[in-house]
Structure 1
Amino acid sequence: MSGNARWMKEAKHFGVMVHYLSHTQPRSGEHEQDFNRMIDKFDMETFMEQFNHIGANWIIFTLGQNTGYYCSYNKYLESLAPGCCSRRDLALELAVRVKESGNKFIAYLPTEVDANVEKMREAFGWDLHPTDKSEFMKKYMLFVKEYSDKFGRLADGWWFDGCYNASEKSFLRTREWDNTRFERDLWFAAVRSGNPEAAISMCPGANSMNYVFDIEDFLAGEVDFGTYPPYELPAGMQPHVLFWLDCSWGHWDAPGEIVPPKVSEDELYEYIVACKLRGAAVTINIGIYEDGSMAEKSVEMLHRVSKRLDERK
């Protein structure tokens, strides 16, 4: 197995993921429309208190997705599309805190901007050609490299979304492009520019145990709860599953309480143990509010599951 993701298999517990984006909703009141004010109000102390209480061994955190906004400064992106990055470098601040807690930080980015705002598509040249994405990829690799260099060894891994063959995905805006847009060696060099030991995973879509390149360090594994990774993967690739526990990936529809976990504590514990017996790592996506606090019922359930894993022989 690649040493870059060995820590995932060796971890006692599991990882968590949160989708914190510009349209993340509050528990009550009106959603903050100004992205910088929203980011400024993120309560890092509460977030870290909950993260440590859970007992998670790593976190996957979104730098940005399809809203035109990113919660970490990127000099190259700002040269293309000024005003897209928050004043507060939230993701970098979080990476520092997670590493100080003795845990791992994995950065999340998409690999396409098909559903992003027009400003972002224009900046990266996404719509220049329906199938030839070479200009986009040239710019996007500079964008990714800028983040990689800035995070350096604070980023233990990268989970890349949107590695699609677009004709297979009915929800996309355009349908002609596919994964031939990647120049594998140049892409991996850009991602690992800041940390040669960073673990890389590339997700070709939900409910799929596929991968894009056989040299990825861990399987993206975006699945429904209860699905197991295959026993046979390319040599060195860490089996891994990622699923949502409460709200479907993010708390985005309207202000209010995040729904409770969709499975029982026993079901969750037994699934994690079964994955571990297969040598697979587990990441659990839980809901997060606009102020940076996570869904309490999910936090408490995961805390109890961590305690049970500690007691397991």
Structure 2
Amino acid sequence: MTHYLAESEPVTGEMPTVEEWEARVDGYDVEAVADQIEATGADWMIFSVGQISGFWAAPNARYDELVPATAEHPSRLATRDLVADLGEALHDRGLRLIVYFVTDPPRNDPYADAQLSGGTPSGANGNDTFRDNWRTVFAEYAAQWGTSVDGWWIDGAWQPNEEDYYTSFVTTAQRHNADTVVTLNPGLGTLCSAVGTDYTAGEARPTDLPVFHDGRYVNCPGVAQTQVHYLSYAQGTWGSKPDAPMALTTAQFVNTTRAVTDYGGAVTWDVGFHREDGTLSDAAMAQFAALREGPRAGEQMDDADATDPRLRYSSGWSDDNPGECGAGDCLSAKHPRAKAQLTFTGTGFTWYGNTGPEFGPRAAVRVDGRLVDIVETWSDTPRTGVALSTVRGLRHGRHTVEIAALGNGYVTIDSVATYVARPSSGLTVVGTGLEVAVQSPTTGCGVPVVQVAPGTAANQTFHPLLTSEGHERLIAHHSGQSIVVQSASTQPGTPIIQCQYSLASPTNDEWLREDLGDGRFRLKNRHSGLYLTASSTEPGASMVQTTWSGSPLQIFTQS
């Protein structure tokens, strides 16, 4: 998705002039964007035609009747029908277009709001006059685009007692395209709207997408089987510029998406884009490439970037790189005997690096001492973040990959992504035979984590979601909350609780699974460096964090 709005970034409210908006819409390269969407492996794109600024990326005759242009207020509707053009380009590639629309007034354009609302701006909620007029504006677009649009994602459907108004959008869309799919957004974190729709709007923060669900459908009012769908932002916030930081690490992005699609759910990610031509950011495209080439069903990705301490280098490597890095930091060497090694537990890997006239000409890739690939690293033009070598189908276990230069040119490591099967399971304390559990099957923050008799209850089943550098979130199946250290303390003896994962302080909410052999492991908190520990041998004893002593109360197996 791209929040293609007149505001250069919605949270700042930077508005273009009418002339600037026209130029921006005219400059949108539908062919380049459609090529990018196809390259991501996605089946659809959500595109916002407008929101509350009064600027729209397509003409609408009915809107112009209701909001007549004046010298002081020229029309803010683009002359170009960008939605129709984008729909055609996507359809040429076998892809679908879903249009973002709203149910509420253009309240950041007081003139348009007043014209649509009977003479006085009606603000965020609108009035009856606005709603009657807005139905006709939507109907104009639905008729104008017909089958050029495959679906609608309609925002603002959270006002009480407005079911008839919201239902009118569904019936109007279906009247002009019997095969269209429609959803109405009831608000952040609320899955079902009060009106039956084809799929859930699913607006959520990027760390709140549920990584488990009982199948692809949810029972919502009016539709017994509504397709589960989530929408969140992968970069910065909604409608970010292309240089905004990514909201999740590549591993989190890939693993969250994979978890949802594994149970049959659907995910749409809003990403940053270039204002001059609409193309998606390089950083977003890199994460989509990792998703497309990454883990298979039931697997997760662990991303070791070039500076990850698990990567071991021979002499001669430095950050003096020829050209840019694909994602974050990268390290390069220019020596025929330069080598790098990574030991990992999993079933395969992908090495990402650069190619160019100064590289190679080749590099050797070995797994457990056996040559598996010779990679051409020379190219006539520089390329960054290239998937240079992928090895799949290894026996799940501990392996060492070695990357070695062959020649006097550069070899670069951007990252090495490894693939691991990490299913949901219980956690058994070796010293007691009891299992880790959230004390009660409630979903709120602050509930203690304890040890209980073995069982299959949802509050003693955890989904490990890999984040970066081998660390993982431990997500309770019943609540979707993460297992964290209370108050982000670094003190030994601090209790462990469940709470919402925080992007502001993620290290307190992440654990490193350190292999002890024979299926046993310990869990080290990323923030404190202390280890998950049962406080006693008794059932109901609290889980706390302590320094490592080798006690069996600090050792776990999957159950």
TM-score using structure 1 length: 0.80
Contact in 2 for aligned 1:110/1:162 (Cα 8 Å): yes
Structure 2 residue aligned with 1:136: 130
Contact in 2 for aligned 1:74/1:147 (Cα 8 Å): yes
- Select which of 253, 261, 270 maps to 1:285: 270
Deviations 1:67-119 (A, max 9, x none): 11111111101111241310111121101111111011001111101633112
The 3-state SS of whatever aligns with 1:72 is: coil
Structure with the bigger percentage of helix: 1
Structure 2 residue aligned with 1:272: 257
Taking the aligned partners of 1:129 and 1:74, their CA distance within structure 2 comes to: 21
Instruction: Please say if 1:91 is aligned against 2:83.
Output: yes
Instruction: Please say if 1:156 is aligned against 2:150.
Output: yes
Structure 2 residue aligned with 1:4: none
**2:271 maps to amino acid:** I
Taking the aligned partners of 2:38 and 2:15, their CA distance within structure 1 comes to: 27
Structure 1 residue aligned with 2:186: 204
Structure 1, gaps ≥5 residues long = 1-16, 166-177
Deviations 1:110-150 (A, max 9, x none): 11016331122122217577878322221111111111111
Deviation at 1:312, TM superposition (A): 4.3
1:1-313 equivalences under 5 Å are 17-24=1-8, 33=17, 34-81=20-67, 82=69, 83-113=75-105, 115-125=107-117, 127=120, 133-165=127-159, 178-180=160-162, 182-213=164-195, 215-226=196-207, 227-228=209-210, 231=214, 232-234=218-220, 235-251=224-240, 257-291=242-276, 292-308=278-294, 311-312=296-297
The 3-state SS of whatever aligns with 1:115 is: coil
Deviation at 1:212, TM superposition (A): 2.8
Contact in 2 for aligned 1:201/1:218 (Cα 8 Å): yes
Tell which structure's C-alpha radius of gyration is larger: 2
Taking the aligned partners of 2:294 and 2:157, their CA distance within structure 1 comes to: 36
TM-score using structure 2 length: 0.46
Deviation at 1:289, TM superposition (A): 1.9
Segment of structure 1 superposing worse, 48-57 or 184-193? 184-193
The alignment covers a number of residue pairs equal to 275
Q: Deviating runs (4+, > 6 A) in structure 1? A: 128-132
Taking the aligned partners of 1:120 and 1:182, their CA distance within structure 2 comes to: 24
Structure 2, gaps ≥5 residues long = 70-74, 299-559
Deviation at 1:48, TM superposition (A): 2.3
Deviation at 1:204, TM superposition (A): 1.6
The 3-state SS of whatever aligns with 1:206 is: coil
Deviations 1:140-170 (A, max 9, x none): 11111111111111211100011123xxxxx
Taking the aligned partners of 1:277 and 1:179, their CA distance within structure 2 comes to: 36
Give RMSD over aligned pairs: 2.5
Deviation at 1:39, TM superposition (A): 1.3
The 3-state SS of whatever aligns with 2:294 is: helix
Question: Relative contact order (alpha carbons < 8 A, sep ≥ 6): 1 or 2 greater?
Answer: 1
Taking the aligned partners of 1:212 and 1:117, their CA distance within structure 2 comes to: 29
The 3-state SS of whatever aligns with 1:201 is: strand
Taking the aligned partners of 2:54 and 2:252, their CA distance within structure 1 comes to: 37
Contact in 2 for aligned 1:233/1:239 (Cα 8 Å): no
Structure with the bigger percentage of strand: 2
The 3-state SS of whatever aligns with 1:24 is: coil
